[in-house]
Amino acid sequence: MSGEPLLVVAPTPGSGELGEGLARELGVEPVYGEFKEFPDGEEYVRVRVDSGGGPAVVVATMSRPQSRSLLVAMLTVDALREQGMNEVYLVAPYLAYARQDRVFLPGEPVSVRVALQALASTGVRGLLVVELHRADSLSWFPGDGVNVRPLPFILRRSGFKCRRGETVIVSPDLGGRQRAELVARRLGCEWGYLVKKRDRVTGEVRIEAADVDVEGMDVIIVDDIVSTGGTLALAASQLLERGARRVYAVAAHYLGLPGVDGKLRRAGLSGLAAGNTLPWNPQAGFLERVDLSPLMAEALKGLLRG
């Protein structure tokens, strides 16, 4: 890496906080992109920079509407390359379309592949994401890719304690068992997983079995994202029925959709901690928002060093 990185904050919701946090950790001043919408609904982006010898880093989390956020990130990258910045990196803590990482029903696309290849087409040299739904999805990005795993960090910064012999880390589904094992090994706790079945047509979720004994234990559910809260609410209620003393949850991403916190409270969840990869409002005593800037900054330094 030659010179200090130029940090550019893309005009997508939630990117300002993340950009400021990263700039603070890196000791640089952020540059903010401008955005407006044309009368026909198309997006307009402008970024004015003084080209230097160092790399440019675009911070663009892809909050709702995701399609707009993805396009704005691409336009921001292209605006920098038009001004001679040929070494452009993208920090996309929440990567849009990452959950459709395979064909579940005939006729579907692999959406994360489309998103990653589109970003690569703009000339992005390196990409940093947070808790990708499936880490191996980054293989579709031809440049350098880093997937930051924030759940142990969030747990340490939250008010939830992982005590050996008293706490069990649980994945709400079979697919997340490696995530639960990673967190448990980092923190020295037991772990297990639930078996979740989802109807791919109706979206209905049910839990059929569990590979974990939670009788009399505190349980911390770990997941990559909380969207509607349906899976998390079902898992919490099932664990409490199986004798868990208390159930908490830790997630990398929280969409903050209306009514989700109420659903989780009614299911018996005692609290939820999540990263600040998306804009949402914490609630005292239940929702806890953890700043991931220090963790992302360290990972970004490694990416820039190559």
Residues 6+ apart with CB under 8 A from 265: 286
301 is catalytic: no
Q: What is the DSSP letter of 258?
A: T
Give the N- to C-terminal CA distance of the chain in Å, as an integer.
8
Q: Tell me the mean pLDDT in the region 259-279.
A: 96
Domains of the chain: which residue ranges?
A: 6-148+294-305, 152-275
71-92 b/e (C-beta count within 10 Å ≥ 16 → b)? bbbbbbbbbbbeeebebbbbbb
pLDDT of residue 52: 62
Note the pLDDT tens digit of each residue in 16-73: 999 999 999 999 999 999 999 999 999 999 999 986 667 999 999 999 999 999 999 9
The answer on pLDDT for 131 being more than 70 is: yes
108 burial level (CB within 10 Å; 0-12, 13-18, 19+) = exposed
Note the pLDDT tens digit of each residue in 70-125: 999 999 999 999 999 989 999 999 999 999 999 999 999 999 999 999 999 999 99
From 79, 57, 75, select the one nearest 12 (Cα to Cα).
75
How many Cβ atoms are within 10 Å of 169's Cβ, its own excluded? 27
Q: Which CATH architecture has domain 6-148+294-305?
A: 3-Layer(aba) Sandwich (3.40)
Check if the beta carbon of residue 133 is closer than 8 Å to that of residue 87: no
Catalytic residue (one of 36, 161, 196, 263): 196
pTM over 0.75: yes
Indicate the residue type of 100. Answer: Q
The answer on pLDDT for 144 being more than 80 is: yes
The answer on pLDDT for 2 being more than 60 is: no
Q: Given the DSSP bridges, would you call strands 34-37 and 43-46 parallel, antiparallel or unpaired? A: antiparallel
- The yes-or-no answer to whether 6-148+294-305 and 152-275 have a common fold is yes
The CATH number given to 152-275 is: 3.40.50.2020
Indicate the residue type of 112. Answer: V
Q: How many CA atoms lie within 13 A of 10 on its CB side?
A: 30
Indicate the residue type of 113. Answer: R
